[in-house]
A and B are shown apart, each in its own frame.
Chain A
Amino acid sequence: MAPHWLRVERRTTLPPRVVFGVSFAAIVAALLAAGIFFKAYGVSPLRAYQLIVTGALGSKVGLAETVRRTIPLLLCGVGLTVAFRALFWNIGAEGQLLVGAMAAAGVALFVPMPDLLRLPAMFVAGFAGGAFWALIPAMLKVRLGINDVISTLMLNYVAAFVMQYLIQGPWKGPTARGFAYTDKFPASATLARIPGTPIHWPTLILGVLAAVLAYIWVTRTRQGFEIRVVGENPDAARYAGISQGKVILAVMLVSGGLAGVAGVGEAAGIHRMLLAPSKLSFGYGYTAIIVAWLARRNPLAVIGTALLFGVIMAGGDVIKVSLGLPFQLVNVFNGLILFFLIGSEIFMRYKVSIRWRRA
Chain B
Amino acid sequence: MTLDASESTTYDEAGPGPSRFTEVRRKGASLNADEVAVQLRGITKRFPGVVANDGIDLSVHRGEIHCLLGENGAGKTTLMRILYGLYQPDAGQILLHGEATRIPSPRAALTHHIGMVHQHFHLVPTLSVEENIILGLSEGRGPFLRPRKTRARIRALASEYGLQVDPTAKVWQLAVGQQQRVEILKALYRDADTLIMDEPTSVLTPQEVDALFHTLRALVDQGLTIIFITHKLDEVMEVSDRVTVLRKGKVIATVDTVSTSKAELARLMVGREVVFRLEKRPGQAGDEILKVRDLHALNDRGLPALRGVSFSVRSREILGIAGVSGNGQHELSEVLTGMRRATHGGATLEAQDVTNRSARAIADLGVAHVPTERIRVGTVPNMTIRENLILKRYRRRPFCRWIFLDEGAAGANACDAMERYGIAAPHDGIAAKNLSGGNIQRMLLARELSGEPHLIVAAHPTYGLDVGATEQVRQVLLDQRDRGAGILLISEDLDEILQLSDRILVLFAGEVMGILTSEEAQLEEIGLMMAGAQRQAVSS
A binding-site residues for B, Cβ under 8 Å? 1-4, 7, 9, 12-13, 220-225, 228-229, 232-233, 235-236, 238-242, 357-359
Q: Which residue of chain B is the closest to A226 with respect to CB atoms?
A: B394
Q: Chain A residues near B317 (CB, 8 Å)? A: none
Residues of B close to A223: CB separation below 8 A: 403
Shortest distance between the CB of B116 and any CB in chain A (Å): 14
List, in ascending order, chain B residues with CB within 8 A of A236's CB.
377-380, 391
Chain B window 92-115, contacts with chain A (Cβ cutoff 8 Å), 1 for yes, 0 for no: 000000000010111110000000
A239 to chain B: which residues have CB within 8 Å? Answer: 339, 359, 369, 371, 377-378
Which residues of A lie under 8 Å from residue B387 when comparing CB positions?
A: 225, 228
Option from B48, B358, B405 in Cβ contact (under 8 Å) with A12:
B48
B394 touches A241 (CB 8 A): no
Q: Which of B431-471 contact A (CB under 8 A)?
A: 434
- Which residues of B, 77-100, contact A by the 8 Å Cβ criterion? 87-88, 91
A358 proximity list for chain B (CB < 8 A): 3, 7, 102
Closest CB of chain B to A17's CB: distance in Å? 14
Most interface-central of B369, B381, B403 (chain A CB within 10 A):
B403
How far apart sit A49 and B87, CA to CA, in the bound complex (Å)? Answer: 42
Q: Please state if B380 and A357 are interface contacts (CB–CB under 8 Å).
A: no
- Evaluate contact between A225 and B104: CB separation under 8 angstroms: no
Q: Which A residue's beta carbon lies closest to that of B357?
A: A241
CA distance A236 to B380 in the complex (A): 6
SS of B interface (majority): loop
Judged by a CB distance under 8 angstroms, whether B47 is at the interface is yes
| B376 interface residue (CB < 8 Å to A) | yes
Select from chain A the residue with minimum beta-carbon distance to B89: A359
Say whether B107 contacts A222, CB under 8 Å.
no
Is the pair A1, B105 in contact by a Cβ cutoff of 8 Å? yes
Bound-state CA distance A61–B489 (Å) is 72
Query: Chain B residues near A222 (CB, 8 Å)?
Result: 394-395, 400, 403-405
- A1-B107, A12-B47, A240-B391 known; A7 vs B380 contact (CB < 8 Å): no
A229 to B403, CA, bound (A): 16
B308 part of interface (Cβ distance < 8 Å):
no
The yes or no answer to B412 lying at the interface (CB within 8 A) is: no
A349, B303: Cα distance in complex, Å = 38
**A96 → chain B, closest Cβ, in Å?**
25
Given A222-B400, A222-B404; A4-B104 close (CB under 8 Å): yes
Smallest distance from the beta carbon of A258 to chain B beta carbons, Å?
Answer: 19
Distance to closest chain A CB from B439 (angstroms): 14
Given A220-B404, A221-B404, A225-B405: A241 touches B363 (CB 8 Å cut-off): yes
21 A-B pairs (CB sep. < 8 Å)? A1-B105, A1-B107, A2-B105, A9-B88, A12-B47, A228-B383, A233-B379, A233-B381, A233-B382, A236-B377, A238-B377, A239-B339, A239-B377, A239-B378, A240-B359, A240-B360, A241-B362, A241-B363, A357-B1, A358-B7, A358-B102
| Contacting pair B405 A241 (CB below 8 A) | no
Partner of A232, one of B7, B48, B104, B381: B381
Chain B nearest Cβ from A9, distance in angstroms: 7
Q: Give the shortest distance, in Å, between A3 (CB) and chain B (any CB).
A: 8
Q: Is the CB of A9 within 8 A of B87?
A: yes
In angstroms, Cα B100 to Cα A359, docked, is 13
Inter-chain contacts of B106 with A (CB < 8 A): 1
- C-alpha spacing A80/B295, complex, angstroms: 44
State whether the Cβ of B338 lies closer than 8 Å to any Cβ in chain A.
yes
Q: Which of B36-53 contact A (CB under 8 A)?
A: 47-49
Beta-carbon nearest neighbor of B105 in chain A: A1
Does B361 reach chain A (CB closer than 8 Å)?
yes
In the complex, chain B residues whose CB is within 8 Å of the CB of A242: 360
Min Cβ gap A83→B in Å is: 18
Sample of 12 further A-B pairs with CB below 8 A, known A222-B395, A228-B380, A241-B338: A2-B104, A4-B102, A221-B405, A225-B405, A232-B381, A236-B380, A239-B369, A239-B377, A240-B360, A241-B358, A241-B392, A359-B91
Interfacial chain B residues near A221, Cβ < 8 Å: 403-405
Q: A233–B380 contact, CB under 8 A?
A: yes
A83 to B49, CA, bound (A): 34
User: B13: CB under 8 A from chain A?
Assistant: yes
Give Cα distance in the complex from A228 to B338, angstroms.
22
Would you give the shortest CB distance from A226 to chain B, in whole angstroms?
Answer: 8
A228 to B3, CA, bound (A): 52
Q: What is the CB-to-nearest-CB distance from A306 to chain B, in angstroms, rounded to a whole number?
A: 26
The answer to whether residues A4 and B391 also contact, given A12-B48, A222-B405, A241-B338 and a CB cut-off of 8 A, is no
Q: Which residue of B lies closest to A219 (CB)?
A: B405
Bound Cα distance from A223 to B391, whole angstroms: 12
Task: Choose among A4, A9, A12, A241 the residue that contacts B361 (Cβ–Cβ < 8 A).
Answer: A241
Task: Return the 5 tightest CB-CB contacts between A and B, nearest first.
Answer: A241-B360, A1-B105, A241-B359, A4-B104, A233-B380
A355 nearest in chain B by CB position: B88
Which chain B residues lie closer than 8 Å to A232 at the CB level? 380-383
CB contact under 8 A between A238 and B88, given known A12-B47, A229-B391:
no
Instruction: Tell me the minimal C-beta distance from B100 to chain A in angstroms.
Output: 11
